[in-house]
Amino acid sequence: MAGKSMQAVQYSGYGGGAAGLKHAEVPIPSPKKDEILLKLEATSINQIDWKVQKGMLRPFLPPKFPFIPCVDVAGEVTEVGPGVSSFTAGDKVVAMLNLPNSGGLAEYTVAPAAFTVSRPSEVSPAEGAGLPTAAVIALQALKAAGTKFDSTDEPSNILITAASGGVGHYAVQLAKLANLHVTATCGARNLELVKSLGADEVLDYKTPDGASLKSPSDRKYDSVIHCTTGIAWSTFEPNLTANGKVIDVTPSIKAVATSVFKKVTFSKKTLVPLLLSPKGEDLKFMVDLAKEGKIKTVVDSRHPLSRAEEAWAKSIDGHATGKIVVEM
Ligand SMILES: NC(=O)c1ccc[n+]([C@@H]2O[C@H](COP(=O)([O-])OP(=O)(O)OC[C@H]3O[C@@H](n4cnc5c(N)ncnc54)[C@H](OP(=O)(O)O)[C@@H]3O)[C@@H](O)[C@H]2O)c1
């Protein structure tokens, strides 16, 4: 593909939101060692994509402008770089791109072979593109809460906040697969959806009971997967069992400080800030569950690449139900 060009959506500076995205014709990248070139079918948007544009990780990310964002993709292998023997041209795959390179909002991209897995025909490109970041952090959060996904898992009570979002809707399904008792929070319009994903009880976060996170059946939570922001430790604390653990996938500086304080004071109730650790085996675990029909991706909306800015604006708006997908 060397010398050929493709359509891509990129931004050239910090800020600007959806209006900062520009369509451009750029060279198709070439796969280097241990990389594969993908003709993309779908990409899903995560909050981190537009937070990088906002400058949340400046001056480290993006490493340079212009920058093609997005990391969660599904596509077809068109070329493999040196050292890649696990894929050949024509394979359909799901991949997680390196955040510093990103590149998913385009017709082609290069993906690290280590974070690429085959996409079975039972999983559509849109469903597959939903999985890499949101489903893998949901899986890693459940594991951090002590879930092993084998016969040794004991019944326990778990709270999942923002259960209607990209991460939360996978977390609910994973928790039910592990036979946990799930209490979930979401907005009124998604109560039925979240129940249909398996939640045992659902709280509308805009009601007083929802805001206090109190279980309708008066349970204390052994663990919490916290998928939104703006909830203080003092709200979680009274709802936890004696050894209750909050896994915070949206850690603020305050949450990190609370976590350290809980450690140094030998508190039995703990807070664990969690960042995604890209792992091909975790992505494969999730794709396999999707293939078996045990996990589904709720697709909030689909947008063509030519209107990617609409998808971007929708993600920034913060009210996605499931995953926002751009299709090529
Ligand atoms: N640690 C990591 O490595 C990692 C990885 C991925 C994501 N994250 C973070 O995880 C968070 C969730 O990501 P996401 O992709 O799931 O977000 P998302 O899809 O954009 O979440 C939107 C959903 O959250 C719901 N929501 C918002 N505030 C809520 C509240 N206070 N209580 C209950 N529900 C609420 C919204 O419901 P309504 O529309 O009804 O308001 C909407 O359905 C983000 O902060 C993201 O940055 C972290």
pLDDT in tens, 46-97: 999 999 999 999 999 999 999 999 999 999 999 999 999 999 999 999 999 9
Q: Cβ(140) to ligand 1 under 6 A?
A: no
In tens, the pLDDT along 70-79 reads 999 999 999 9
Mean pLDDT of 105-109: 98
Distance CA 44, CA 103 (A): 12
Q: Which of 261, 300, 308 is nearest to 106 (CA)?
A: 308
Q: For a ligand 1 pocket test, name from 43, 44, 45, 47 the mutation site with the most ligand atoms within 8 angstroms of its C-beta.
A: 47
Confidence of residue 3 (pLDDT cuts 50, 70, 90): confident
> Which domains are delineated in the chain?
5-119+298-327 (3.90.180.10), 134-273 (3.40.50.720)
Q: Tell me, what's the pLDDT at 312?
A: 98
Length of the chain, please?
328
What pLDDT was estimated at residue 166? 98
What is the identity of the amino acid at 303?
H
172 in contact with ligand 1, CB cutoff 6 A:
no
Per-residue model confidence as pLDDT tens digits over 22-50 = 999 999 999 999 999 999 999 999 999 99
Q: Is 43 in the pocket of ligand 1 (CB under 6 A)?
A: no
Cβ 319 under 6 angstroms from ligand 1:
yes
Strands 108-112 and 116-118: unpaired
Task: Give, in order, the Cα–Cα distances in Å from 147 to each of 29, 175, 236, 245, 250.
Answer: 40, 8, 20, 12, 20
Ligand 1 and 44: CB distance under 6 A = no
User: Given 3-state DSSP classes, what are the helix, strand and coil percentages for the chain, each rounded to the nearest 5?
Assistant: 30, 30, 40
Going 189 to 194 to 197 to 198, the CA torsion angle's sign is negative
How many CB atoms are located within 10 Å of the residue 209 CB?
Answer: 13
Contact (Cβ atoms closer than 8 angstroms) between residue 234 and residue 269? no
Residue 2 has pLDDT above 80, yes or no: no
> Measuring from atom 15 of ligand 1, which residue has the nearest CA?
166
93 strand-pairing partners: 75, 118
Q: Looking at the CA of residue 169, tell me the nearest atom of ligand 1.
A: 16
Report residue 31 CA to chain centroid gap: 25
The reply to whether ligand 1 has any atom less than 6 angstroms from the CB of 133 is: yes
Report yes or no: 236 and 246 within 8 Å, Cβ to Cβ: yes
> 63: CA distance to ligand 1 center in Å?
26
Q: Residue 313, class by beta-carbon neighbours within 10 Å (0-12 exposed, 13-18 middle, 19+ buried)?
A: middle
